[in-house]
Structure 1
Amino acid sequence: MKTYRHYIGGAWVEPSSGEYFDTDNPYTGEVWAKIARGNAQDVDRAVAAAKAAFEAGEWATMRPTARGKLLVKLAEIIERESERLAELEVRDNGKLIAEMSLQTKYLAEWYRYYGGMADKIEGAVLPSDRPGMLNFTTHEPLGVVAMITAWNSPLLLLAWKLAPALAAGNTAVVKPSEFTSTSTLEFMDLVREAGFPDGVVNCVTGMGIEAGAPLVEHPDVAKAAFTGSDMAGQKVYESAARKIMPVTLELGGKSPNIVFEDADIDAAVNGAISGIFAATGQTCLAGSRLLVQRSVHDALVARLVEVASQAAIGDPMSMDTHVGPVTTVPQYEKVLRYIEIAKRDGATCVLGGKPYTGSGSQGGRFVEPTIFTGVTNDMTIAQEEIFGPVLSIIPFDTEEDAVRIGNDIVYGLAAGVWTSDIGRALRMAERLKAGTVWINTYRAVSFMSPFGGFKRSGQGRESGKEAMMEYMQTKSVWIAQQMATGNPFVMR
């Protein structure tokens, strides 16, 4: 059994309390590693190391081009280690190796992209209406950034934050989820190998209340970037507001996946399955509300049940598995609780609806792919994020109905539209209140495309050029071209 310590100032250090907690394999339930249990004292040490690296030394004077080269080197190391990182994530969170082996290799592209962007951020010389004045802008890093990631895709979610923040010249203190800390901790060795100076990237592990909250509240932290539930994100936002500190929040979702009668039904079924049963439904962008035009409702439900019922449930390390275990015990219990609520509220369970204990379950935390029909949008199952393999199917009649139902939610992270009518596709993309709209596809993301939510789904954007500016602040510089001795009591 491996024991993981904090990574602070370029070294592995014991937690100040001397305490560790267990992490288990969701597939077997077996404890396989011990993780340092951090507290405010550990956070203080990490923030101090990050602040020192930001204000003085090699990183503080490093030119953007040199920072970019370090990021590109890190991308090369990630590609070399991608299979090992994928296996670590599967062991820690139970997601499929078929997906994670692609994801860990692809995350290198975020570091390569922002490595190339590091020296491409330019200020501007502005036209001035003031005679004899030159005015220009520069973009500068913020300082120490707190990065708190969720348990479903630790390294990918970290890349969305760390790559642009480092390219901009910031330093970081990372706090991964207490449920899935190992891949992030192993990643620290790759950061060191790439040549980042000590203190530029630090990692403190532990519980949210004990380590995450002190990190966000720390007076020397200049920004917080958080991925998690909307309730936890609200607490981060409240803490940041007390400091007048900027945040990037990537929070929950209850995304509508909308199928019109003119859609390719087989493609829509595949998209629906990808939207909710891939990653065992443990993704913020899950298409957990399937809105189906009434004229094709019954045919689509029949086809969907047929295909979903064939999903192979079991060992996430097998390339043949389609649905893996639920990552944490609290989440497993939450998913089952929502299934019972849906049944009590009158929804009809046409597939699944209970724990899976069949061949390949190994005693792990499995929930059958579950589909409910007869759902109305005011039901609990349609309004609250479940974060599991549970799909609500809601019929609609007209395009207006689809827009109304799709937007009738406190979230606005993503939406899907399935139609062969390009005019309808464009109208829906314009009218749906979501940060990402997919047309005839689902779950497509890229390092080049901004990602984030409307309403309670978040604040700010990750990925793309927009993310770079989330980690910089703009300074305006005025230069008088000649000395002037006018009235000093009047604004120039």
Structure 2
Amino acid sequence: MAFESGDHEYSHFIDGEFVESTGDERIAVSYPYTGETWGSVPEGTAEDVDRAVDAAREALPEWKGQNRTERRDVLQSMATVFEEHADELAELETRQNGKLIREMKPQMFAVAEMLRHYASLVDADRGEVIPLDTKDDGVFNYVVHEPYGVVGGITPWNSPVLLGMTKLVCAIAAGNTFVHKPSEQTPISALRVASLLSEESDLPDGVYNVVTGAGKAGAEVSDHEGVDHLSFTGGTEVGRRVGEAAGRNINSVTLELGGKSPNIIFPSADVDNAVNGVMKGVFAASGQTCVAGSRVFVHESLYDEVVETLVSRASDVSLGDPLDPQTEMGPLAYREHWESVKEHIDTAVEDGATVAYGGERPADTPGECFMQPTILTDVENDMRVAQEEIFGPVTCVMPFSDEEEVVEKANETRFGLAAGVWSEDMRQIFRVTEAIEAGTIWVNEYRIAGWPTPFGGFKDSGVGREQAKEGLDEYRQTKSIWIDKTGEVDDPFKIEF
């Protein structure tokens, strides 16, 4: 089931095979660059989700029972699949969401690297013995980690395979099985990944199941009594509903949500490097990344220089075909999203902001989804454009006068996902990074990542962590086991601590 041109109809993938939906509704998938519809998937029903959860539940005992060597080898075999099919999967990603092929292909190799990373963690995993003096050291206590069971994963459209696999890999490495509801904008790559893993890796059938659909299908996964842990990446408001569903079912939940990340440029910063970081943080990926550094705070001594340099750099950005490796910015993922981004820009102007560059759809691009890289000045930190996640190539550049002021402004947001600090003053760097309320802070760099380091947000940007050992721990629960070594009969009313 490789990519096919024309309007190809795809199906759910459950228990190692493609299955038809019990419903008749379908969702079209289009190429944002041209607007051409090239595929469709089912609008998943409650019965479809039931079937996927049942398959995951049935596969759980065998998968949970595999020893760590067997599970390690499965993860290694999955890594090979991503390496061998990187070109195909990258093209599928680009044809769904319009993101650059030059970004999507490296992501496929990053997934392979992630799989090998967690294979090594599984291989080295161990429990913990806790020394105690209870009963004069006559009790032995140890702790082990066990999977929750069936994990329900709901993922977004901006980096579908990478973000979906970040959840899947940790979940199955911990011994869980998985039911995946990908975004309705980008569902086909998940179906292709599932089929490839079934055909070419050692992953058993039923461990990874994919049900496509929009919000109703996602709600069926979130509310399903057969799901033991929920993991969601996406907007904060939907994340609240997923969290509410977890609460109703007394399930654990991992939420990786939105951001409105500050990029702070201090007087000692290298301006060219800082501007490069701003470009990387908000215009790369057309701004469609949760860590977008969309609030740029610049010290007043550098403000004019930074704005001028940023406008010059933005005007040189090459917009075009995302399948062309030379293209620097592609279209937004779909028309409704373009309209949302445009509405934020227009509202900002009505509120008093000035468009220093961009703000419109370029006349020489096809389709309806391109937006120029947009730079706004005369922005106040409490404006809507400076407080709401836009998820597009829009940045607000605001001046500040001193360190205390900018830290306060950086934290004046309900989000806390990421931040950038640009300074050559090491004491200042330590002070500011400790004061900023964010889960990830880059210093003199932006938007770099690595699997051994945890990722997640403060405040409304989420709950829990992904990646690293912390990401693995999100998908397993702790069991404490006590063993009496003495053989003595105690007073039944004596409690020891």
Q: TM-score of the superposition, structure 2-length normalised? A: 0.96
Which range moves more in the overlay, 282-291 or 156-165? Answer: 156-165
* Superposed displacement of residue 216, structure 1: 1.1
**Distance in 2 between residues matched to 1:309 and 1:259, nearest whole Å:** 21
Correspondence list, 1:268-283, <5 A = 268-283=274-289
Corresponding residue for residue 416 of structure 1: 420
Question: Does 1:320 find its partner at 2:320?
Answer: no
Q: Counterparts of 2:64 and 2:128 in 1: how far apart (Å)?
A: 23
Q: Tell me by how many angstroms 1:346 deviates.
A: 0.2
Aligned to 1:364: 368
1:45-124 equivalences in 2 (<5 Å): 45-55=51-61, 57=62, 59-124=63-128
Quote the Cα distance in structure 2 between the aligned partners of 1:166 and 1:258: 39
Matching of residue 185 in structure 1 with residue 210 in structure 2: no
Give the Cα separation in 2 of the matches to 1:60 and 1:263.
Answer: 51
Instruction: Report the Cα offset of residue 426 of structure 1.
Output: 1.6
Contact 1:147 1:173 (C-alpha < 8 Å) held by counterparts: yes
Please tell me whether the aligned partners of residues 357 and 366 of structure 1 are also in contact (alpha carbons under 8 angstroms).
no
RMSD (Å), alpha carbons: 1.1
Task: Answer whether contact 2:454 2:467 (CA < 8 A) is retained.
Answer: yes
The one of 170, 173, 182 equivalent to 2:179 is 173
Shift of 1:34: 1.1
Q: CA deviation at 1:487?
A: 3.0
> 1:402 Cα shift?
1.4
| SS state at 1:391 partner | strand
1:73-472 → structure 2 map (5 Å cutoff): 73-131=77-135, 132-192=138-198, 193-208=200-215, 210-358=216-364, 361-472=365-476
Q: What's the TM-score, normalizing by structure 1?
A: 0.97
Identity rate, percent? 47
Q: Measure the CA separation in 2 of the matches of 1:196 and 1:169.
A: 12
Partner residue in 1 for 2:4: none
| SS of aligned partner of 1:416 | strand
Counterpart code for 1:343: V
1:305 Cα deviation after fit = 0.3
Distance 1:423 1:102 in 2: 36
Give the deviation of 1:121 after TM superposition.
2.1
Q: CA deviation at 1:491?
A: 3.1
Say if 1:357 and 1:363, in contact at 8 Å, map to a contact too: no
Contact residue 8 and residue 202 of structure 1 kept, 8 A: yes
Distance in 1 (CA, whole Å) between partners of 2:271 and 2:335 is 36
Task: Say how many residue pairs are matched.
Answer: 487
SS at match of 2:308: helix
Partner of 1:31: 37
In 2, Cα distance between the equivalents of 1:357 and 1:149?
Answer: 33
**Displacement after TM superposition at 1:190 (Å):** 2.2
Secondary structure of 1:236's partner? helix
The CA distance in 1 between the partners of 2:188 and 2:363, in whole Å, is 28
In the TM superposition, residue 31 of structure 1 has moved relative to its aligned partner by 0.4
SS at match of 1:177: coil
Render the CA deviation track for 1:59-112: whole Å, top value 9, x for unaligned: 232111111111111111101111111111000000011111112222211111
Q: Which moved more, 1:451-460 or 1:154-163?
A: 154-163
Distance in 1 separating the partners of 2:115 and 2:109: 11
CA distance in 1, matches of 2:122, 2:451: 14
Aligned AA for 1:423? R
User: For the Cα contact (< 8 Å) 2:17–2:195, is it kept in 1?
Assistant: no
Code of the residue aligned with 1:335 in structure 2: it is: V
1:483 corresponds in structure 2 to 487
1:313-338 Cα shifts (integer Å, max 9, x gaps): 11111112111111022211100100
Structure 1 Cα separation of the partners of residues 312 and 265 of structure 2: 18
Contact 1:249/1:460, CA 8 A, preserved across alignment? yes
> What is the letter of the counterpart of residue 296 of structure 1?
L
Asked if structure 1 preserves the Cα contact closer than 8 Å seen for 2:362 and 2:371, the reply is yes
In 2: Cα distance, 1:93 partner to 1:79 partner: 21
Paired residues of 1:349 and 1:371 also in contact (CA < 8 A): yes
**SS of residue matched to 2:85:** helix
How far is 1:485 from its partner? 3.0
